[in-house]
């Protein structure tokens, strides 16, 4: 086990922990498991062009650097599964497990409200997995959010009390450490099963939007490439990549 707790770089403020990690990697050798923890992000990154907005000192905004070179390139979504489950394990120490799910591919939701998100940037060299920069943002103590954000929620809004960020960070790191160790030691089948079991809407009829078309279907699973498998009313199973469809709640 790597013991990520011994590798924390604490920052008062930075533009983005992911950007800081990427700059660090260009400057020098960085030990695997290095954690960048910022109390404030001035330009936090979300999926695509989105910005992760977080009140200074109220939430967890961290980035972890890993070298998962043991993974085949075509199985890189297994890392996504391990990290998502590590975050879920952490949130389960604070909130009822049945209320928290992974919204494919890597949002963490309390019921239908967004509690956190994961942003993974992988560097592939040739046909080899090289480096992974993993950004994690979790709403802990924030209670006011920008009105433009889509249905956010924090741990404090659910349990009506503050959570110590330092303790929360240590628990999060412990859970991530265990899941990464599980991935390294041949736990792929178990990770596949647990990710599916923690997937929001799995085995349920749901509504989705593709381009301008709204359709219904049942989430069956996620394939090895990270695509969401949905069964249509005609019993046809279709694989969708990230960005091709939108959940409708």
Contact between 31 and 7 under an 8 Å Cβ cutoff? The reply is yes
pLDDT tens for each residue of 51-63: 556 678 899 999 9
- Per CATH, the homologous superfamily of domain 4-197 is Bira Bifunctional Protein; Domain 2 (3.30.930.10)
Closest by CA to 145, choosing from 120, 171, 114, is 114
Predicted confidence (pLDDT) per residue in 178-236, tens digit? 999 999 999 999 999 999 999 999 999 999 999 989 999 999 999 999 999 999 999 99
Q: According to the model, what pLDDT value does residue 218 have?
A: 96
- pTM attached to this predicted model: 0.92
* Whole-number Å distance between alpha carbons of 138 and 84: 12
H or E stretch covering 27: helix 17-27
Looking at residue 171, its pLDDT comes to 96
Identify whether the C-beta of residue 83 lies closer than 8 Å to the C-beta of residue 116.
Answer: no
> CB 105: neighbour CB atoms within 10 A?
20
Other beta carbons less than 10 A from residue 43's beta carbon:
12
Residue 41 confidence (pLDDT): 86
Instruction: Give helix 188-197 / helix 77-92 axis angle, nearest 10°.
Output: 60
User: Cα separation of 81 and 76, whole Å?
Assistant: 9
**Domain range annotation of the chain:** 4-197, 205-248
Taking 70 as the pLDDT cut, the residues of the chain under it are: 1-6, 44-54
Instruction: Tell me whether domains 4-197 and 205-248 share a fold.
Output: no
The answer to whether the CB of 115 falls within 8 A of the CB of 99 is no
In CATH, which of 3.60.20.10, 1.10.3720.10, 3.40.640.10, 2.30.30.100 is domain 205-248?
2.30.30.100
**Per-residue confidence (pLDDT) for residue 126, from 0 to 100:** 85
Instruction: Decide if 132 contacts 183 (C-beta within 8 A).
Output: no
- Burial of 8 (C-beta count, 10 Å sphere; 0-12/13-18/19+): middle
Determine the pLDDT at residue 227: 96
C-beta neighbour count of 182 within 10 angstroms: 17
The answer to whether 114 and 146 have CB atoms below 8 angstroms apart is no
pLDDT at 48: 45
């Amino acid at each position: 086990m790597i013991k990520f707790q011994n590798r924390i770089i604490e920052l008062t403020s930075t533009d983005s922990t992911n950007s800081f990690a990427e700059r660090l990697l260009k400057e020098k050798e960085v030990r695997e498991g290095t954690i960048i923890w910022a109390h404030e992000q001035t330009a936090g990154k979300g999926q695509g062009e989105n910005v992760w907005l977080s009140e200074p000192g109220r939430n967890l905004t961290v980035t972890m650097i890993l070298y998962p070179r043991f993974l085949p390139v075509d199985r890189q979504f297994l890392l996504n599964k391990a990290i998502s489950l590590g975050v879920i394990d952490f949130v389960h120490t604070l909130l009822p497990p049945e209320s928290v799910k992974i919204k494919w591919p890597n949002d963490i939701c309390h019921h239908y409200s967004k509690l956190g998100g994961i942003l993974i940037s992988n560097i592939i060299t040739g046909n080899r997995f090289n480096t992974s920069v993993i950004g994690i943002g979790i709403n802990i103590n924030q209670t006011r959010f920008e009105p433009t954000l889509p249905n956010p929620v924090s741990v404090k809004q659910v349990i009506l009390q503050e959570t110590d960020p330092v303790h929360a960070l240590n628990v999060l790191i412990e859970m991530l450490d265990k899941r990464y160790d599980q991935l390294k030691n041949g736990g792929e089948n178990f990770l596949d099963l647990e990710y599916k079991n923690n997937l929001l809407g799995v085995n349920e009829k749901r509504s989705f939007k593709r381009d301008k078309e709204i359709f219904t279907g049942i989430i069956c699973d996620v394939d090895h490439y990270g695509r969401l498998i949905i069964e249509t009313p005609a019993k046809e199973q279709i694989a969708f990549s990230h960005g091709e469809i939108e959940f409708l709640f």
